[in-house]
Structure 1
Amino acid sequence: MEKPNDTITGFDRVDQMANPAFFTQFMDKSHTLQSASIYRQRMFDLLDVGLGATLLDVGCGAGNDVQDLAKQVGPSGRVVGIDSSATMIQEARRRTADAHLPVEYIQGDAYQLPFQENTFDGCQSSRVFKHLAEPGRVLAEMVRVARPGARVVVAEADFDLTIVDIPDRTLARKMIHLACDSLRQGWMGRQLPKLFSEVGLSDIVITGHVLSSDYAYFQMVFGGLLQDAQAAGKVSAEELTRFWDLLEQADRQQRLLGYVGFVVGGRKP
C-alpha cells in the first residue's frame, strides 16, 4: 500500500501539512459511515439539543456536525464552530455560504476559547481529544463557556480497542498497539470519564459504540501511522504487506473491521 500524503497525527497542524485536502476528505469519509451516524446521534442526544439553543463545536473541521446541529436548533438557535485550522474554517464557510443556516465559524485556540463564561447551552467535541497535548485544559475551557445546567459532550475512539478480524492475532495486536502508540492520546476514549470528573461535571453518562468500517477507511486511518512505524524500524515491510493483504481479504469476506468509540456527557453544575 502506498503511503498517504499525510497521517491523522497531523490534525493539530493541518495548515502546515503537505496535503490539507487529506483531512477534509478523511472527515467527509468518516461522516458518511453508517455506524458513525449512530455515534453522532448519540452525541446530539446527550447534548439535549432544543430549538433556539446556542451550541459550540470545538474542533469543528469542515463543519459537518455544525450543519447537522444547526438543523436541530432551528433558525432561532445558533451553532458556533471553532477550529485552529484556517483551511478548515475556510472550507466550512464555503460549504454553508448559501445554506441559510444559523452557523458561525471561528478560527481560534481551543485552549483559550474566545468566549465569555456561561455563553453556550451545550458544548461538544468529536474525535479531537486524541490529538491534544492537554485534553483536560480544553475540556475545562468547554465547561467555562457552558452555562450552568448545560451539557458538555465529547466523543473519542480508543485505538487500543481497534477490531480487525484476521487470522493472525499476533500481527493484529502488534499493528493495533503500534497505531495506538503513534497518537498523542491513543487511550483517550477510556480516559474521558476521568477527565469529566476532574473538571467537576456531574451526571456523567458513559456510552461505547462499535464503529464498523471498511478497508478504504482503514487505509486512511492507519496507513500513514503504520508506514511511519515501518520507517522507525518498529515493523518490517513484510509484516506490513501481510497485514494489509489480510485486511483486504477480511473486507471482501465482510468480516468486522472497526473500533470502539466512546461518547461521554456531563452537566455543568
Structure 2
Amino acid sequence: MDADTFVARLDVMQALDSFRVYKQETFELMGLKPGMHIADIGCGPGDDLGKLALQVVPGGSAVGFDLSEAMLEEARRRHADVLSLSFRNAPANELGVPARSFDAVRADRVLIHVPRPQEALKEMIRVTRPGGRIVVSEPDMPGCWVASSDYVLTGRIMQSIAESCVNPYLARDLYAMFHDVGLRDITFSMRSVSAFDPQSVNKILDFKSVLAGMHARKLFTDDEVTRWITEFEERGRTGRFVAGLPVMIVSGTTQD
C-alpha cells in the first residue's frame, strides 16, 4: 500500500465518532499537564500528537516516532505551525533517545504490527521517567466483524484481515504484558468502535484486495465473491449495514 492510500485510510478512521471516543480516553490516561514532555510511538501523520501537544504548553514538548519517512513528511507538513512538536524516524523498539526523556508515552494501533512487541514496550518504559505514564491501545483484530447473512464466509474474510497483522491477538495479552514488565497502577478497558457507512469500512479494510487475494488462493468461488459483495452493497443502500471492532486500552505507571 502506498503512503497516500494509507494516509487516506487513517483519515477515514479519524473521522469516525467511535474512534475519537476511545482516542480521547487514551489522551486522558496520560495525565497531561503544561510543561510535560510526551511521545507518541507510531505517530503516522501526527494528528493525535498535534492535539496532545496543545495540552503540554507552555513549557512542554511532544515528539512523534514513526518507521515511515513518508508518514513523517506528512506529519511535518500538517503540523508545521506547532513549535512544541517534532518528529523522528525510529523503530518502536529502538527510539534512539536518552533514558527517562518523557513524562508520558503513548502507542495506538502499533504493537500489532511490531515483530517483538515486548521489546517495544520495554523501550517505552526505558524512555519514560519514574512515575511516568504509558498508555497502549490495540484493536482485537480477530474480533473485527461485519454484519452479513453468510456468517461462515464473512468469518473467513475477517480472519484473513486479522492474519495480515503480525500480532493479531496481541490486544488480549496487553494487560498481562504490562504486569510482566513491572508497571504499576495498571488499568484496563475495552471500547467498541462501530461504523455504519460501508464505504468508510471498505476504505479501512480494503475488501476488494482481500477478496482478490483469497480468490487467487482458491478460497472463494466466483459465485461466493459476487454474492458477498452484492449483500455488502445492498446493506449499505438500505441502511442495514454495521461493522465493529473491539479496542483494548491498557495504561500503567513506571516504577519510582
> Considering the TM-score relative to the shorter chain, is it more than 0.5?
yes
Counterpart of 2:198, as a letter, is Y
Number of residue-to-residue matches in the alignment: 251
TM-score, structure 1 length as denominator? Answer: 0.87
| 2:170 equivalent in structure 1 | 188
Answer yes or no: is 1:176 the counterpart of 2:177: no
Please report the RMSD computed on the Cα atoms of aligned residues, expressed in angstroms. Answer: 1.6
Q: Find the residue that maps to 1:69 and give its secondary structure.
A: helix
Matches within 5 A, 1:9-48: 19-48=2-31
Partners of 1:61 and 1:88 lie apart in 2 by 5
In the other structure, the counterpart of 1:201 is 183
**Structure 2, unpaired ranges of 5+:** none
Corresponding position of 1:143: 125
What are structure 1's unaligned runs of at least 5 residues? 1-5, 7-18
CA–CA separation in structure 1 for the residues paired with 2:167 and 2:67? 18
Quote the Cα distance in structure 2 between the aligned partners of 1:250 and 1:27: 24
Instruction: Give the secondary-structure state (helix, strand or coil) at the position aligned to 2:93.
Output: helix
Q: How much has 1:57 moved relative to structure 2?
A: 0.3
Does residue 116 of the first structure (1) align with residue 98 of the second (2)?
A: yes
| 1:69 matches 2:52 | yes
Deviates more, 1:177-186 or 1:112-121: 177-186
d(CA) in 1 for partners of 2:139, 2:85: 27
Q: Which whole-Å CA distance do the structure 2 matches of 1:198 and 1:241 have between them?
A: 47
Alignment equivalent of 1:163, drawn from 131, 140, 145:
145
Identity across the alignment (%): 31
Q: Which moved more, 1:206-215 or 1:230-239?
A: 230-239
What residue is the counterpart of 1:247 in the other structure?
232
CA distance in 2, matches of 1:88, 1:239: 37
Match of 1:16 in 2: none
The whole-number CA distance in structure 2 between the counterparts of 1:239 and 1:126 is 35
* TM-aligned CA deviation for residue 222 of structure 1: 4.1
Distance 2:73 2:30 in 1: 26
CA distance in 2, matches of 1:222, 1:186: 17
1:212 to 194, 215, 223: 194
Q: How much does 1:95 deviate?
A: 0.9
- Give the aligned partner of residue 236 of structure 1: 221
**Mean Cα displacement is larger for which, 132-141 or 99-108?**
99-108
Give the 3 Å change call, closer, same or farther, for CA 36–198 of structure 1 in structure 2.
same
| C-alpha distance 51-165 of structure 1, shift in aligned 2 (>3 A) | same
The partner residue of 1:80 within 51, 60, 63 is 63
Indicate how the Cα distance of structure 1 residues 244 and 265 shifts in structure 2: closer, same or farther if over 3 A, else same: farther
Give the TM-score taking structure 2 as reference length: 0.92
1:260 to 246, 252, 256: 246
Alpha-carbon contact 2:157-2:210 (below 8 Å) kept:
no
